[in-house]
Amino acid sequence: MVVLTTLGAPDTSMEGQLIRVDIKTKSFGEIEILRDIAFSVEEGETVAILGPSGIGKTTLLRLIANTDPDFVGKVDRPNNMAIVFQEPTLLPWRSVLKNITLVHEGLGNDDAMAALERVGLGGKGDMFPGQLSLGQQRRLALARAFTGRPQLLIMDEPFVSLDEKTADEMLALSEDLIRETRPATVFVTHSRKEAKRLANRVLELNGSPASFT
């Protein structure tokens, strides 16, 4: 699970409706992947993007996050955002505590320890990511994302490959953190059950090129 956080002053010009997506088309070479994708996400709202593997869900998230700017259309987003992808890419040579403080400039150890405590990792600040289970690594990724109190949270199948019990615990934790911080959240999943549980609204990608149905 990758966490990529960008901190910035709140973008007051986008209050109430933080995310506006209007993608006319996205192609890789001559292959068109996405067409006519338009939606908005309000502050505190979670929108789930549902669809089968390979349909273009992760591609859509990259356009929203501006990690791939090569498309026709426009996305309005705040500067303060966090991205949580599938696989852990924590800094293995840094402690659990440093994996949070190095991302959030000016964050003190006490606040970072409180963030770890909040996700069930209290007392593990001096450990290294390799000493944590996969579920614990994903808790650390969530702590790192939410510590910056992002205005926009992007989650790309964050519960994939977890056993049912751990996935349920992570869903509950994510629900609580989203409720506390109230970001505009775009959540990609292939699980209709997860989408209905976590999201206020579910949008489904279908077709080739993919669009909402």
| Structural domains in the chain (count) | 1
Compare 59 and 148 and report the one with higher pLDDT: 59
Residue 15 pLDDT: 54
Domain that holds residue 11: 3-212
Which tens digits make up the pLDDT trace of 74-121? 999 998 999 887 776 788 999 999 999 887 877 888 888 999 999 999
Which tens digits make up the pLDDT trace of 118-153? 999 999 999 999 999 988 999 999 999 999 899 999
Residue 103 pLDDT: 78
Distances (CA, A) of 24 to 38, 52, 72: 8, 21, 5
Going by pLDDT thresholds of 50, 70 and 90, the confidence category of residue 4 is very low
User: Before 88, cis peptide (omega within 30)?
Assistant: no
Q: What angle do CA 197, 77, 20 make, to 5 degrees?
A: 70
CATH at residue 149: 3.40.50.300
Going by pLDDT thresholds of 50, 70 and 90, the confidence category of residue 17 is low
- For residue 2, give the nearest of 82, 77, 59 by alpha carbon: 82
Distances (CA, A) of 68 to 26, 178, 205: 10, 25, 19
Q: Collapsing DSSP states into helix, strand and coil, what is residue 69?
A: coil
